[in-house]
Structure formats: structure tokens, C-alpha cells
Amino acid sequence: MTDEMPFTGEPVDSHEAIMRATFYALQEHGYAGLSIQRIADEADLSKSTFYHHFDGKDDLLLSFLEFILEEFDRVFQLETSDDPAADLRTFFAIVLGQYDFCEEIPAVEEFLEAYVELRAQAVRNAEYRAKFTETDEAFTERISALIEMGIERGVFAETDPDRTAQFLMSTLDGVILQNSTRNDSPQSAMYDAIDDYIENTLLAE
Amino acid sequence: MTDEMPFTGEPVDSHEAIMRATFYALQEHGYAGLSIQRIADEADLSKSTFYHHFDGKDDLLLSFLEFILEEFDRVFQLETSDDPAADLRTFFAIVLGQYDFCEEIPAVEEFLEAYVELRAQAVRNAEYRAKFTETDEAFTERISALIEMGIERGVFAETDPDRTAQFLMSTLDGVILQNSTRNDSPQSAMYDAIDDYIENTLLAE
């Protein structure tokens, strides 16, 4: 599905079928309600085929987090322009499930809720903790690279790209946490705030 | 304990003893390992005294979140100066457990981890969701009031106080989530980033 949006078209192999089934099972049942049986049913595979690929639920979910990062990179590549400020907005919109193509993926919000539940597992599970350290770092590097490009081209004012990227990544993780655990929806106000930040803090005078 | 730091000195009544026991039990055992028996033991009270105050674990924890907000307000009042920029830094430091007096409270980090686990409950529990909506809003209002004061006094540049407060509250929630679910400790880099933000974005030229 190289040119396609995530979770559309036919899965190319059983690994991708399982990843996709995990996505939908997480949306529907959350972390606690996720079972190998449900994923096998959703992927239309036998449990033995599943166990050919994965040792169990945690092994699957660690692979799934990797898959999400790869999918993000693939889609972000397709959507980048040559404008660092626009790309930064695209980055946030894709992560928060607010980008145009996200309308084709049902219930992104429910997926972000499952992401928060998964992430809370990392408090007491060292493997999850290592994985989230890695994926947060990867995302932060993407943001840092965009800021660095902006500075080199004179579009952004001089700033420490890593520190600024870490700051923005905290904001992004925070709004995902808030959106999944509050009755209001801080996401749209957040976009305005990010625009303000790009406008008033990042852009060169 | 009106003038004292949180969780120091003698609790004034059994409600406060239970709140304090909850704090320590959450630090030690996390959300999943929290039991009424453990809290009763920690508070040196019988289970029947406990049930005189609370219906059960969820009722207790919702009360506890309220208590934390009240304690925060009380301590923040004691520590505020007349300088909005300094007060904003103090606000962040107290929430993140990095303020001077926090050294007197053991294992603030473990408490913030339990906070993340509690918060993840809000994904599927409407009562927790309502409570976190309320406490996030209360904290955001405190930040907004500081920014408004700064603008009125000409210390901060003109900005939308509510939007800026929501942005900073997302960052704060994000760094709490990151710190509890990653192997690195983004908190100190975060302080530098917040200082940058105050310096370059909030302060009037």
C-alpha cells in the first residue's frame, strides 16, 4: 500500500493485516479489552497464524507502535511541501488525526484514547517504557529537523532546534492526553495556539 | 496544617489522614495496587472508619484529586511574589515537583507516575473524566490569571491569556506524561524551554 493512506486498500500480507486489526481492535475495545482472539477474528486469521508472528499481546503492541511510527513517516513524506512552517502544521495535524486524509480513517479519536491507555502501561512496564522513549525521540527528531531547515533558510528565527522540538513534543503529548481524558475538546484551540507559536515565536521577523 | 507544606506535620483529622495515606499508597503501589486495606493500614484507621468517609476506591480517588488541587492552591498562595513571570515559573515548578519544598516530600516522581495511571482511567470512566476536566480547567485558569496580570502591568506582551494558558497547560500535562513513561527525564530541558518561552514570547520587548 505504498502510496495509499494508512488503513485503506487491501493489506499486502498477514503482518499488515494483523497491524490493521490491532488498530481497529484498540479503537473498539481499548487496551484492557484487546485479546488475541479479537485480533485474529478482525484480521480473519487463525490464532496459530497470529502466534507464528507474535509471542503475545505485549509483543504485538510493541510491534504495533513501531508500525504506527513507520506509517507516520511514510504519510508525512507524501504530504510534505517545501515550506517548514506548513510542514510543521501538517506534522501536528497528522499526529492529532486532524489532517484531511484522516477523515478516511474512522474513529481516530478512539485510537488516540487507546494510545493513552497503552502509554500508561509504560509507567510499570520497562519494554513499553523503552518503546515510548524511542518513538517520542523519533518524533522529536522530525520536529527538530523541520525547525533546523526553517532556520537555515532564514524562515525561522535563531533558536535551539532540539529544545524547541522537545517543547512542542510535550505540548503534542499533552493535548493527546487531555483530549482523551477530558469532556471538552482542547484540540481546535490548540491549533490556534500552535499557529500563534509559529507566527510569534518561530518565524523570523 | 494551614502554614505547612503538604504532607508534613500531623494530619488534623481522619479525612486528612486518609488523603495523606492515599498519596503514599499511590506512590508505593500505583493505581492498580491501591486497596482500601492498604490505605486504612497506612492511615492507622479501621476499614469501618474509612467507609464512614468514602464509598470505595473511586470515591476516594475523586476526593483525593480535589484535595491535591486545594493543596496546590494553598501552597501556591504562600509562594507567590508580585512578579507574574516568577510566579509562572513557581507554578510549573510546584506542579512538576521541582520546587524547593518538594524535596521535603519523598518520591514526588512516583506520585506523578500514579497520577498518569489515574488519568488514563478517565478514558473509560465518566466520573474521572469529569474530575480531570474540572481540575485541568482550574489549573488553566490560574495560569491565565497570571498572564492577564502580566499584561495589565505591561510586563507581558499583548496575547490571548486563555489560549496561551491552554497551550502551557498542554505542555505541562505532556511533560508529566513523558516523564512517567520514558527512560530519559525531559523535565530539566523543559524548564529551559519554559524560560525561553517566557523570555521570547511572553515578556514585553
A151-166 pLDDT per residue, tens: 999 999 999 999 999 9
> How far is the alpha carbon of B204 from chain A, nearest alpha carbon, in Å?
12
Residue A9 lies in a domain: no
DSSP 3-state of B191: helix
- Domain-located, residue B190: yes
Task: Name the residue with higher pLDDT: A103 or A27.
Answer: A27
Helix (H, G, I), strand (E, B) or coil at B29: helix
Q: Is B116 among the domain residues?
A: yes
Q: Is residue B94 part of a domain?
A: yes
Residue-wise DSSP of B154-170 = TSBPS--HHHHHHHHHH
Domain containing B96 equals 14-202
- How many Cα atoms are found within 13 Å in the side-chain-facing hemisphere of A169? 27
Distance CA A120, CA A123 (A): 6
Of the two residues A193 and A7, the one the predictor is more confident about is A193
Report CB contact under 8 Å: A170, B174: yes
Residues of chain A contacting residue B194, judged by C-beta atoms under 8 Å apart: 167
Residues in contact with B143: Cβ distance below 8 Å, sequence separation at least 6, in sequence order? B88, B91, B164, B165, B168, B169
Residues of B in contact with A164 (CB under 8 A): 193, 196
- Give chain B's domain count: 1
- Domain membership flag for residue B5: no
Instruction: Identify the DSSP state of B203.
Output: B
Give the Cα separation of B18 and A89 in Å (integer): 46
Closest residue to A167, CB basis, from B136, B159, B171: B171
Distances (CA, A) of A56 to A34, A41, A47, A59: 11, 15, 11, 5
Q: Pull the grid cell for residue A86.
A: 506548513
- B175·A177 Cβ contact <8 A: no
pLDDT of residue A1: 45
pLDDT tens for each residue of A110-143:
888 989 999 999 999 999 999 999 999 999 999 9
In chain B, what residues touch A128 (CB-CB under 8 Å)?
181
Could you please report the per-residue DSSP string of B69-101? HHHHHHHHHHH--S-HHHHHHHHHHHHTT-SGG
Using the beta-carbon criterion (under 8 Å), do A190 and B178 form an inter-chain contact?
no
Contacts of B28 (CB under 8 A, 6+ apart): B110
Q: Where are the alpha helices (DSSP H) in A30-160?
A: 36-43, 47-53, 57-79, 84-95, 108-121, 126-152
| B165 inside domain | yes
**A171 within a domain of the structure (yes/no):** yes
- Alpha-carbon distance of B59 to B61, in angstroms, equals 6
Contact A178 B122 (CB under 8 A): no
Q: What CATH number corresponds to the domain at position B134? A: 1.10.357.10
Cα–Cα distance, B113 to B34 (Å, whole number):
13
| Best A127, A160, A177 residue to mutate vs chain B (most B CBs within 10 Å) | A177
What is the pLDDT at residue A22? 93
* Domain contains B9: no
Better pLDDT: A102 or B22: B22
Flag if A181 and B116 touch (Cβ within 8 Å).
no
- Average pLDDT of the segment spanning A60-72: 91
| Interface probe, candidates B140, B173, B191, B205, chain A, greatest A C-beta count within 10 A | B173
Instruction: Determine whether the interchain pair B166/A136 forms a contact, defined as Cβ–Cβ distance below 8 Å.
Output: no
Question: DSSP letters along B119-183, please?
Answer: HHHTTT-HHHHHHHHHHHHHHHHHHHHHHHHHHHTTSBPS--HHHHHHHHHHHHHHHHHHHHHSS
CB-defined contacts A:B, below 8 A: 148
Instruction: Say yes or no for a CB contact (<8 Å) between B120 and A120.
Output: yes
Written as tens digits, the pLDDT of chain B (205 aa) is 456 667 777 787 888 999 999 988 988 888 888 999 999 998 899 999 899 999 999 999 999 999 988 888 888 888 889 899 999 999 988 888 777 766 666 667 888 898 999 999 999 999 999 999 999 999 999 999 999 999 999 999 999 999 999 999 999 999 999 999 999 887 777 888 888 889 888 999 7
Q: A120 and B122 in contact by Cβ < 8 A?
A: no
Q: How many residues does chain B have?
A: 205
- pLDDT, residue B1, reads 45
First to last CA, chain A: 42
- Side chain identity, residue B64: F
Residue where the block lists cell 467507609: B51
Instruction: Give the nearest chain B residue to A163 (CA atoms).
Output: B193
HSE (side-chain half, CA atoms, 13 Å) at B21: 23
